Structure 1
Amino acid sequence: MTLNGLPHHRGGAEELARLLARALLAGHWQPGDAFPRELDLCTHFTVSRNQVRNALASLTATGLIERTAGRGTVVRAVTDWHLLDPLMSEWMVGLADPDPQLVREIFAFRYSAEPVVAGLAAEAAAAADLERLEAAFQGMTRTASEPAARGLHAEYDVAFHDAIYLASHNLVWRQMGHLLRPSIIALIESSQAHVHQEHESLDDSLARHGRVLEAIRRRDSAAAERAAREVLRRTAIDLGIVDAPAIPHPDPKESP
């Protein structure tokens, strides 16, 4: 993959690093691919060698690329990317079409972790947390039937999940929610239309979110875990993280 198609660069090394990182996160280059040489980057973006080296240093520090003397620069495997690095979170903001493998890895983590966080939220949520969850859910409800409000609906959806992490009142989980927020936004925005149009109605999605809210409100941690897992299950099936439920077949021995 060449540098063709990448947007024009404006700014210094930080902006160049952001541009290149977002291209990597979107799959412009695949793991194992050779990354453009310093000279090619200088020529294409009309920047100094120093700017290029500083930008590449940021990509190296976050695990996106590996630079080896005599071998050049190659794109590292997604499993080597430092997804919780603050720089990575910043680069993920507004990324409309993240790499499919990246989407799957992040969602697999959420599918494992978020139900646990919901259970903690049921035990620890204060009045302000419940108000925050309720406000996000009401916003989702108001915008569900308005096709023109799909972007706003996604914002309320993200706010709902934000509120779950905050309601856990656990410092590490709250920080994890903050770091994951850009990737959650990207996942919701990129999958929302697909999920809603092909697999489930918005009413069903709202009902699942509503059950999470009610379980947290009742302080029922086990129910909150189950409900949060059901919110995520449809996308987890789509991404191959969990198997779809088997469809029962009639016993041929049984008479009609």
Structure 2
Amino acid sequence: MTLDALPSHPGGAENLARLLARALLAGHWQPGDLFPKELDIGKHFVVSRNQVRNALASLTATGLLERTAGRGTLVREMGEWHLLDPLMSEWMTGLVNLDPQLVRAIYAFRFSAEPTVAGLAAQAASAEDIARLEAAFEGMRRSAGNPDARAQHAEYDVAFHDATYRATHNLVWRQMGHLLRPSIMALVHRSQHDIKTLDDSLTRHRHVLEAIKACDAHAAETAAREVLRRTAIDLGIVS
């Protein structure tokens, strides 16, 4: 892939790193591809060599690129990407056209983790947590029938999942929920893009809420798993 398909650069090494990282996360270049040379990047975006080097240093530190003397700069295998790095979360924020392979990887993690999170939430949720979950679900319900409110619905959907992570009252899970928020948002946007109705998804989320309110860990795990089964269908991972 060339640099020509990328948007214009607003200036600064941090913005250049963000632009290039988002292109990588969207699959503009694939693992194993040779990344453009410093000189070509600087010429294309009309930036200094120092800015390019600083930007590439950030991409290297987060595992996206590997710079080797004599070989140039290569895109690393996806398994080497530091997806939970705060910088990576920042770059992923608002990005909805993730690489399909990355979508599957994020989904696989969520499918293994979120039923456990929901079960823990059922055991530990406080009245404040329940109120937060109910508010998010009510927002989902209000926006579900309005095709023009899909972006708003996605925000409430992500808020629901965030509230579930917080309701575990486990420091590590709460931090994971925070770091995963951009990737969850990307999957929610992608999964809702082409479907005509959100009724089935809404019903499945309601079952999660009811199970957590009932302090039923097993039911919460089962309900969360069913939410993600629906997500897999909407993402086209399964038919």
TM-score norm. by structure 2 comes to: 0.97
**Correspondences of 1:168-247 after superposition (within 5 Å):** 168-194=168-194, 196-197=195-196, 201-237=197-233
**What is the distance in 1 between the residues matched to 2:42 and 2:225?**
47
**What is the distance in 1 between the residues matched to 2:75 and 2:136?**
39
Alignment-mate amino acid for residue 6 of structure 2: L
Alignment-mate amino acid for residue 203 of structure 1: D
Name the counterpart of 1:26: 26
Name the counterpart of 2:106: 106
Aligned residues of 1:108 and 1:236 also touching (Cα < 8 A): no
Name the counterpart of 1:76: 76
Q: Secondary structure at the match of 1:74?
A: strand
Q: Deviations over 1:79-118 (max 9, x none)?
A: 1100000000000001120111111101100010000000
**What is the distance in 1 between the residues matched to 2:223 and 2:134?**
16
Deviation at 1:233, TM superposition (A): 0.6
**What is the distance in 1 between the residues matched to 2:150 and 2:13?**
35
Highest CA radius of gyration, 1 or 2?
A: 1
Aligned residues of 1:137 and 1:157 also touching (Cα < 8 A): yes
Q: Which runs of 5+ in 2 are unaligned?
A: none
Alignment-mate amino acid for residue 70 of structure 2: G
Q: Which moved more, 1:230-239 or 1:155-164?
A: 230-239
Alignment-mate amino acid for residue 216 of structure 1: I
Identity %: 74
Deviation at 1:11, TM superposition (A): 2.2
Deviation at 1:220, TM superposition (A): 0.3
Name the counterpart of 2:127: 127
TM-score norm. by structure 1 comes to: 0.90
Q: How many residues align?
A: 239
**What is the distance in 1 between the residues matched to 2:108 and 2:139?**
27
Aligned residues of 2:201 and 2:230 also touching (Cα < 8 A): no
Q: Within the alignment, does 1:53 sit opposite 2:49 as a pair?
A: no
**What is the distance in 1 between the residues matched to 2:103 and 2:227?**
17
Deviation at 1:236, TM superposition (A): 2.8
Q: Secondary structure at the match of 1:79?
A: helix
* Cα RMSD, aligned residues only: 1.3
Taking structure 1 as reference, are residues 237 and 152 closer, same or farther at Cα in structure 2, changes over 3 Å only? closer
Aligned residues of 1:111 and 1:236 also touching (Cα < 8 A): no
Alignment-mate amino acid for residue 214 of structure 1: E
Q: Secondary structure at the match of 1:4?
A: helix
**What is the distance in 2 between the residues matched to 1:12 and 1:206?**
42
Q: Secondary structure at the match of 1:105?
A: helix
Which portions of structure 1, spanning 4 or more consecutive aligned residues, are displaced by more than 4 angstroms? 237-241
Q: Deviations over 1:7-50 (max 9, x none)?
A: 11122111110010000001111111110001001100111111
